[in-house]
Structure 1
Amino acid sequence: MDSKKFNLTTDPWIKVVTAENNQEKTVSLIDLFENASSYRQLAGDMHSQDLALLRLLLAILTTVYSRVDADGEQYSWLEGDIKSPENLEIDLDTFEDDEGEEILFTTWDQLYQAGHFSAAVTDYLKGHTADFEFFGDRPFYQASTEDYDALVPENRKVAAGKGQVLVKQMNRRISESAHTPDIFTPKSGEAKNEVSLDELVRWVIAYQNFTGVTDKTKVVTEEKFSNSGGWIYRLNPVFAKGKTLFDTLMLNLVLVDTRQNGTEYALQKPVWEAKSVRDYVAQRKALILPDNLAELYTTWSRLLHIEWQDGQPMILSAGIPTFAYEDALIEPMTTWKLDKKTNAYRPAGKSLRSLGIAMWRNFGQYVKVRRQDDMHEPGIVIWLRALKQKQLIAHDAPLFLNSVTLISDGNATSQSPAAEVVDDMELQADVLFDDELTERWPIRIEGVIETTQTIGNDYYHFATDIGKIRNLDTRTFASGMSAKFYEQLNGPFKEWLSSLRGQDDRDAKINLWKAELEKIVIKAVDDEMQASSPRDVRGISDDHGRPLNIFTAKNHLMYNVRRDLDLEKE
């Protein structure tokens, strides 16, 4: 099988949806970049797999356009030949004198206005064809037999066949271990380990980003370390989505570090440009956080080696030391939370406990509502704000913030995927980045969300009363009713968000939502009333000896709703 050829630059392996007729199509890297505006979106086996592929595509674009402008001309501040990236150096004085940041913004703008990527991307891929070969001496995202054997313990070398990761473990739609069968999967029996070559390529990339910790083999290091999960696995991912794949790639193409106190301009170093696999692993042992996005986006969590038996892969895996998440603010695709004990920022990861909480309910994690807040906005939001301030995107442009989260089971010894959550928010640029001092939309939106969640609490207490009347486990019952209530809120609230405009009368718009919210509460209560039983009507005595039935519970709820929405005044 080693003589087989499969090159990611020219062979089709990426699934996309065409913009013209919404048909699925499988394309190569070169095809994708040359026709990105003709594709609506990535369409892989899972949304989280698409996110991993998106980051790979962005690593290629970031590498190319940090070296050449939209016309394919090498930037003045780069010394050396871009065809030999290992010899490239930056003259920071020239970068500053030539206003390098403005030139990079100009490159972005010219590409965006053109509506397609320049020939430089295809030229780069053709120049690095060997780096994207899935087989051979240096297989893509893998280690050769010689490199693998040189980096793992003696008893874990390829010939020993130990430390295998089965295809069904790598396939995140199955994620089945060798000992615990997963019944509810899209494949059964031996078919779980069967995979086409294009699908395997996609899963190898996804696995490097969303690795669990069931494997025990590690590369040899002087100090002991624990295998960690894939880098994206512990993030709360957020990225921008456009109308086409070209738009999506451009909106997420961060060419300038727009963070306050951001790092100096750095050379992009995707993993395939490392001198060798052994050099890359040696660098990783130093636990140094990457200073460039291309390296971060192509980070490996495992040293993988694939042997081929009867046309099917036998995959060996060894853990690699990874850098810390604390203050890794170069990562643009996550929300952050401040650890009060260490005063360091950590990714605000999602867990099974927060499974049902929609993005809009955590609006303040995505947008800095108050300037004095110590929250740190996602880097992608900071980038979009910079584009808007420089008028590179229209003030009335609809911006979609998307989130794709693969949530683990929470088990420290496995971290197997338990759920995938996909969500989005649409806001107009003028609303998301409203700088009006007194009437800023973000502050008003946060206030509306707080009011909405107060009504959610009122409804939870109503559900608790119903649970008491029915002699049920009130906590479980109320949580279930509350979750159903928020599901009814999600669609209408997202529609309200997307309807906001910079020139709107804030109070009028907020009152519209309050009126809609009251209608949703009334409908939810009426639905519960229609399902009531004689016991609900008869009721019980509460802790104070007062009658508690479905009617008194409803009256109490509606009183609280009118009070908390302050509807009389309006």
Structure 2
Amino acid sequence: MKTPEFNLLEEAWIRVLKDDCSEEMVSLPEAMIHAHEYRDLCGDTPEQDMAVLRLLLAVLHTIFSKMDEDGQDNVIDTPTQARKRWRALWEKGYFKEDVIRTYLEKYHERFWLFHDQYPFWQIPEAAVGTEYTVAKLNGELSESGNKVRLFPLCNGIKKQEMEYAAAARWLLYVNAYDDTSAKPKGKGLPSPGVGWPGKLGLIAAVGDNLFQTLMLNLTLLKDGRSLWEGEDKPIWEREPSKKERQEIAVPDNLAELLTLQSRRLLLKRDHNKVVGYYLLGGDFFDKNLAYAEQMTVWREVKEKDRKFFTPRRHDPSRQMWRDFGSIFVESGSNVRKPGVVSWYDTIATEMQWKIRPIRFRIASVQYGDKDFFVNDTFSDSLAFQGELLLQMSRPWQSRILDEINKCEEVAGAIGMLEGNLAKAEGRDADIVYAKELFYDRIDQPFRRWLMEILPETDDISKTCKKLDEIIQMVGKELGEEMVSNAGEAAFAGRMKDDVYYASPEAYNWFLGKLHKIYH
């Protein structure tokens, strides 16, 4: 077969969404050079888009940490310089073509998808690893020899072969989210866990177009405050490691972290199609204290002699707005905001943005037992006025958290009502479903309410009262439906554990609980 073949700097492989809602495939440089003309990435899944976004950010961070917006050598050495560099790029409104191409062309040989020595994000030595088919490479299928999807999105020939462009996208996906099912070839080697992004609760800021999205996530300062310690060294500027399952130190530069070789991979091709791949475990590090990562939500961990933060995966059963406090509000030492959120605080202050909507997107892969296989994928987004994130909006942040807590209390009351009605009917309760039904009904009203808040002009009490009325109405309507559906048996009621349960009493208790929550 021809080698080298399919250079990612020349071939079209990244899928983007245009302003007219049509899709287009472009090369790696074009995705950045024309980013201001595209609405967004438009890959096969939101999780794949996150992997592609991280690659684009690695390129941009490597360039603009060392050069100014016009491509002149000028290494960032102060926080003030970083903020000014970002502002100059933002106000230009696009990335200069010669700056992007001049940098990437220096590493042209490292971007061949198929190459005897340096296949992109792969190593030839991976050929001794576990062999998988295209059905495992395709994240929409995620099949292995031991697990076949009953209702796959792709069938027939698409489960047997793949075009080079699609294989390039899914290569990034597998490196990011691969499960733990592969067995090591060497003896006594530690488990690297899933791919690094698979360990995270991924989050990214979203702008009006792809250029803005890239810029909003281009964290030239770590956590919006401090300089990066090391010089950017993305995977194409380094000699790829050939060791299987290698524990490394947490990278001190963003480009290396964004292009972490979580898996040693090698694509397998036949007749100009990819038909499978080989895999070995790759680089990994302790996820605790890995604060260089800018695109994850965090949770606090307390041990006997210390406390620290570790990445928190998203819970697919929770709407994103329910985690507003743990993502967007640094209310104390027990909360750590994602780096991209802190970075937004910094640039919004620098730009003196007032009324400006911002949207954040989350995505994650859900794994089965011990991360041994992929169960499902999950994504969500949340939009609101960016001013809510700033220091001046602390009173608003506090009241929003209060409103979310009230919703949690109403959900708990709905669950209790379901439990009491089940006892009155003589059936098993489905409390989880009852709560999910409530959250489903208030989901869009809450999102609209949050988006419509104008912190500088709106009255906090009046705005919150408006939401309170909506939530109480939804809660009462759902409670009435539950009582009605319980039927005559529940109305008559029954004794259980020396307590009499009946739907009228259950509903009256529920109304009393609602009144207590909101008055």
Deviation at 1:4, TM superposition (A): 5.8
Which residue number in structure 2 is paired with residue 83 of structure 1?
none
User: Is the counterpart of residue 272 in structure 1 residue 236 in structure 2?
Assistant: yes
Which residue number in structure 1 is paired with residue 54 of structure 2?
55
User: Is the counterpart of residue 493 in structure 1 residue 446 in structure 2?
Assistant: yes
Which residue number in structure 2 is paired with residue 483 of structure 1?
436
User: Is the counterpart of residue 166 in structure 1 residue 166 in structure 2?
Assistant: no
Moved more, 202-211 or 314-323: 314-323
Residue 536 of structure 1 contacts residue 549 of structure 1 at CA under 8 Å; is this kept in 2? yes
User: Is the counterpart of residue 316 in structure 1 residue 264 in structure 2?
Assistant: no
Residue 202 of structure 2 contacts residue 364 of structure 2 at CA under 8 Å; is this kept in 1? yes
Which residue number in structure 2 is paired with residue 88 of structure 1?
none
Structure 1 residues 417-440: Cα deviation after superposition (integer angstroms, max 9, x where no partner):
21212112222122122435xx62
User: Is the counterpart of residue 505 in structure 1 residue 454 in structure 2?
Assistant: no
User: Is the counterpart of residue 246 in structure 1 residue 216 in structure 2?
Assistant: no
SS of structure 1 residue aligned to 2:154 = coil
Deviation at 1:407, TM superposition (A): 1.0
Rounded Cα–Cα distance in structure 2 between residues aligned with 1:369 and 1:30? 37
Which residue number in structure 1 is paired with residue 123 of structure 2?
143
Query: Scaled by the length of structure 2, what TM-score is found?
Result: 0.94
Residue 369 of structure 1 contacts residue 442 of structure 1 at CA under 8 Å; is this kept in 2? no
Which residue number in structure 1 is paired with residue 487 of structure 2?
533
For structure 2, which runs of at least 5 residues remain unmatched after alignment?
none
Which residue number in structure 2 is paired with residue 131 of structure 1?
110
Where do 1:152-231 residues align within 5 Å?
Answer: 158=127, 163-189=130-156, 191-218=158-185, 224-231=189-196
User: Is the counterpart of residue 471 in structure 1 residue 426 in structure 2?
Assistant: yes
For structure 1, which runs of at least 5 residues remain unmatched after alignment?
78-94, 149-157
Residue 284 of structure 1 contacts residue 323 of structure 1 at CA under 8 Å; is this kept in 2? no
Rounded Cα–Cα distance in structure 2 between residues aligned with 1:176 and 1:76? 45
Where do 1:447-466 residues align within 5 Å?
Answer: 447-466=402-421
Work out which of the residue numbers 381, 392, 396 in structure 1 matches 2:341.
Answer: 381
Deviation at 1:53, TM superposition (A): 0.4
Rounded Cα–Cα distance in structure 2 between residues aligned with 1:61 and 1:11? 19
Residue 176 of structure 2 contacts residue 195 of structure 2 at CA under 8 Å; is this kept in 1? yes
Work out which of the residue numbers 255, 258, 269 in structure 2 matches 1:294.
Answer: 255
Structure 1 residues 316-351: Cα deviation after superposition (integer angstroms, max 9, x where no partner):
11112411101001101111112111422111123x
Rounded Cα–Cα distance in structure 2 between residues aligned with 1:441 and 1:167? 49
Amino acid at match of 2:353: A
Amino acid at match of 2:405: E
Structure 1 residues 428-456: Cα deviation after superposition (integer angstroms, max 9, x where no partner):
122122435xx621111111111111111
User: Aligned pair in 2 of structure 1 residues 540, 176: CA closer, same or farther (>3 Å)?
Assistant: same
Which residue number in structure 2 is paired with residue 401 of structure 1?
360
SS of structure 2 residue aligned to 1:64 = helix
Deviation at 1:71, TM superposition (A): 1.6
Deviation at 1:283, TM superposition (A): 12
Amino acid at match of 1:485: F
Structure 1 residues 83-116: Cα deviation after superposition (integer angstroms, max 9, x where no partner):
xxxxxxxxxxxx3xxxx32222222111111211
Indicate the RMSD between aligned Cα atoms, in angstroms.
2.1
User: Aligned pair in 2 of structure 1 residues 388, 263: CA closer, same or farther (>3 Å)?
Assistant: closer
Work out which of the residue numbers 421, 426, 437 in structure 1 matches 2:383.
Answer: 426
Deviation at 1:188, TM superposition (A): 2.8
User: Aligned pair in 2 of structure 1 residues 298, 459: CA closer, same or farther (>3 Å)?
Assistant: same
Deviation at 1:180, TM superposition (A): 2.6
User: Aligned pair in 2 of structure 1 residues 133, 545: CA closer, same or farther (>3 Å)?
Assistant: closer
Deviation at 1:545, TM superposition (A): 4.2
SS of structure 1 residue aligned to 2:24 = strand
Deviation at 1:532, TM superposition (A): 4.0
Which residue number in structure 2 is paired with residue 101 of structure 1?
79
Rounded Cα–Cα distance in structure 1 between residues aligned with 2:189 and 2:330? 43
Amino acid at match of 2:493: G
Residue 213 of structure 1 contacts residue 415 of structure 1 at CA under 8 Å; is this kept in 2? yes
Which residue number in structure 1 is paired with residue 33 of structure 2?
34
Residue 198 of structure 2 contacts residue 365 of structure 2 at CA under 8 Å; is this kept in 1? yes
Deviation at 1:199, TM superposition (A): 0.7
Where do 1:311-390 residues align within 5 Å?
Answer: 311=272, 312-341=274-303, 342-350=306-314, 354-370=315-331, 372-390=332-350
User: Aligned pair in 2 of structure 1 residues 559, 107: CA closer, same or farther (>3 Å)?
Assistant: same
Amino acid at match of 1:104: A
Amino acid at match of 2:342: I
Residue 14 of structure 1 contacts residue 198 of structure 1 at CA under 8 Å; is this kept in 2? yes
Rounded Cα–Cα distance in structure 2 between residues aligned with 1:531 and 1:329? 50
Rounded Cα–Cα distance in structure 1 between residues aligned with 2:60 and 2:244? 23
Which residue number in structure 2 is paired with residue 152 of structure 1?
none
Percent identical residues: 25
Which residue number in structure 2 is paired with residue 440 of structure 1?
395
SS of structure 2 residue aligned to 1:492 = helix
Structure 1 residues 493-540: Cα deviation after superposition (integer angstroms, max 9, x where no partner):
111111112222111111111011011112212333443422233222
Residue 335 of structure 1 contacts residue 377 of structure 1 at CA under 8 Å; is this kept in 2? yes
Amino acid at match of 2:471: L
Residue 40 of structure 2 contacts residue 209 of structure 2 at CA under 8 Å; is this kept in 1? yes
Which residue number in structure 2 is paired with residue 121 of structure 1?
100
Rounded Cα–Cα distance in structure 2 between residues aligned with 1:309 and 1:11? 19
Deviation at 1:255, TM superposition (A): 1.0
Deviation at 1:259, TM superposition (A): 5.4
Residue 244 of structure 2 contacts residue 280 of structure 2 at CA under 8 Å; is this kept in 1? no
Rounded Cα–Cα distance in structure 2 between residues aligned with 1:363 and 1:555? 32
Where do 1:539-554 residues align within 5 Å?
Answer: 539-541=493-495, 543-546=497-500, 548-554=501-507
Amino acid at match of 1:328: A
Structure 1 residues 472-508: Cα deviation after superposition (integer angstroms, max 9, x where no partner):
222xx12111111111121111111111122221111
Work out which of the residue numbers 539, 549, 558 in structure 1 matches 2:511.
Answer: 558
Rounded Cα–Cα distance in structure 1 between residues aligned with 2:230 and 2:450? 37
Structure 1 residues 294-332: Cα deviation after superposition (integer angstroms, max 9, x where no partner):
111111111112333344434111112411101001101
Amino acid at match of 2:198: Y
Structure 1 residues 153-204: Cα deviation after superposition (integer angstroms, max 9, x where no partner):
xxxxx4xx65102211121111111123211111235541221111110000
Rounded Cα–Cα distance in structure 1 between residues aligned with 2:206 and 2:405? 27
Work out which of the residue numbers 243, 247, 268 in structure 2 matches 1:307.
Answer: 268
SS of structure 2 residue aligned to 1:360 = helix
Moved more, 535-544 or 203-212: 535-544
